[in-house]
């Protein structure tokens, strides 16, 4: 039994060291140069594995995602049918996402960019301050990350609402669900944060209709996936003033192509998929726990429903 590490461009050594520290007898193989006997591979630990690659391992039983999302695995048309898949649930990702989202919400809330512009004109002028309780933040996706971001923002005093597939009871967060729930949430979101998984149901969810349902001048923060957003519809919403700004951390194509209009748009703040990283030092204990569960035939932490897509 062996684990195959599949992550292009990622330094495998820190992962090997960290996981072997947790499981000293772990047989750690590295794709594509150190695979060994393919029949011995039963677990793949993967981030964006090339399409078709996983089909080469006839004894593969488990795929552990190196990220919270699993769409990069499920999009493979040759994905082995009976394999069990887990997304990553780990505290480092959660902390990173909470920090990033809070940073961006506070930046808009406290009008930091406007003060920056004033500085470049040597302009000394106080801008009206809004109480956090009067700023309404809506979160699409109230899972591991969305709920944690909501909890931090409500502690800052923001009026926080969220939307999920199922009804939620979260302290201090108004919960909406279903199609009607989506528009009720949008109508009352001065700042909208997207933390949904990418599935057939959520692809293109941020389009002219949903962006148009937000209060005029709202802000969008998309930290989920680029395919949630219809790029042209965002540009129209920003140029018309329907939205006042957007923070984008994820894109349909990554890296974002050089010629893409998002790069130079004055109302867009852009990050290179940097909101929350999976670091071996925080993720390895959880991954090691899941490796042990695979081998013991137990339910995995973060095991997904393939049909549901997350």
Burial of 72 (0-12, 13-18, 19+ CB in 10 A): middle
Comparison of 19 and 214: residue with beta carbon closer to ligand OXD: 19
Comparison of 41 and 223: residue with beta carbon closer to ligand NDP: 223
Comparison of 273 and 295: residue with beta carbon closer to ligand OXD: 273
Chain contacts with ligand NDP (rule: CB under 6 A): 67-69, 93, 97, 141-146, 163-166, 195-199, 201-202, 223-225, 249-250, 273, 275-276, 310
**Least Å from the CB of residue 117 to ligand OXD:** 31
Choose among ligand OXD, ligand NDP, none what residue 44 binds, the Cβ cut-off being 5 to 8 Å by kind: none
Chain contacts with ligand OXD (rule: CB under 6 A): 67-69, 93, 276, 278
Catalytic residue among 252, 260, 273, 295: 273
Secondary structure, 3-state, the chain: CEEEEEECCCCHHHHHHHHHHHCCCCCEEECCCECCCHHHEEEEEEECCCCCHHHHCCCCCEEEECCCCCHHHHCCCCCCCCCEEECCCCHHHHHHHHHHHHHHHHHHHCCHHHHHHHHHCCCCCCCCCCCHHHCEEEEECCCHHHHHHHHHHHHCCCEEEEEECCCCCECCEEEEEHHHHHHHHHHCCCEEEECCCCCCCCCCCECHHHHHCCCCCEEEEECCCHHHECHHHHHHHHHCCCEEEEEECCCCCCCCCCCCHHHHCCCEEECCCCCCCCCHHHHHHHHHHHHHHHHHCCCCCCECCCCCCC
Comparison of 109 and 168: residue with beta carbon closer to ligand NDP: 168
Choose among ligand OXD, ligand NDP, none what residue 6 binds, the Cβ cut-off being 5 to 8 Å by kind: none
**Least Å from the CB of residue 73 to ligand NDP:** 12
Choose among ligand NDP, ligand OXD, none what residue 196 binds, the Cβ cut-off being 5 to 8 Å by kind: ligand NDP
- What angle (nearest 5°) sits at the alpha carbon of residue 306, between those of residues 300 and 308? 115
Comparison of 67 and 146: residue with beta carbon closer to ligand OXD: 67
**Least Å from the CB of residue 162 to ligand NDP:** 8
**Least Å from the CB of residue 116 to ligand NDP:** 24
Select the residue whose beta carbon is closest to ligand OXD and give its number.
Answer: 67
Q: Is 292 a catalytic residue?
A: no
**Least Å from the CB of residue 1 to ligand NDP:** 28
Q: What's the CA gap between 48 and 70, in Å, rounded?
A: 9
Catalytic residue among 29, 109, 154, 225: 225
Q: Is 273 a catalytic residue?
A: yes
Choose among ligand NDP, ligand OXD, none what residue 220 binds, the Cβ cut-off being 5 to 8 Å by kind: none
Comparison of 161 and 199: residue with beta carbon closer to ligand NDP: 199
Q: Which residues are catalytic?
A: 225, 273
């Amino acid at each position: 039994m062996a684990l195959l590490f599949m992550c292009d461009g990622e330094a495998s050594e820190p992962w090997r060291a960290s996981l072997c520290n947790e499981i000293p007898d772990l047989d750690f193989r590295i794709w594509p140069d150190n695979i060994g006997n393919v029949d011995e591979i039963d677990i793949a630990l993967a981030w964006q594995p090339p399409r078709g690659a996983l089909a080469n391992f006839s004894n593969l039983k488990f795929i552990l995602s190196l990220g919270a999302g699993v769409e990069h695995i499920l999009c493979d048309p040759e994905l082995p049918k009976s394999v069990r898949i887990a997304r990553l649930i780990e505290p480092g990702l959660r902390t990173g996402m909470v920090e990033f989202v809070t940073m961006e919400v506070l930046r808009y809330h406290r009008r930091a960019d406007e003060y920056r512009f004033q500085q470049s004109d040597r302009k000394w002028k106080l801008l009206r301050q809004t109480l956090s309780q009067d700023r309404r933040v809506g979160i699409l996706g109230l899972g591991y990350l969305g709920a944690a971001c909501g909890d931090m923002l409500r502690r800052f005093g923001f009026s926080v609402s969220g939307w999920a597939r199922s009804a939620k009871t979260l302290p201090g967060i108004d919960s909406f669900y279903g199609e009607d729930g989506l528009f009720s949430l949008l109508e009352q979101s001065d700042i909208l944060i997207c933390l949904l998984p990418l599935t057939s149901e959520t692809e293109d969810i941020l389009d002219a209709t949903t962006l148009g349902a937000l209060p005029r001048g709202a802000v969008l923060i998309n930290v989920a996936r680029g395919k949630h957003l219809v790029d042209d519809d965002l540009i129209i919403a920003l140029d018309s003033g329907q939205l006042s700004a957007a923070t984008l951390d994820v894109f349909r194509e990554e890296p974002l192509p050089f010629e893409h209009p998002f790069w130079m748009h004055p109302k867009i703040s852009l990050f290179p998929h940097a909101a929350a990283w999976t670091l071996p030092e925080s993720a390895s204990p959880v991954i090691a726990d899941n490796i042990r569960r695979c081998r013991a035939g137990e339910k995995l932490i973060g095991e997904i429903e393939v049909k549901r897509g997350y």
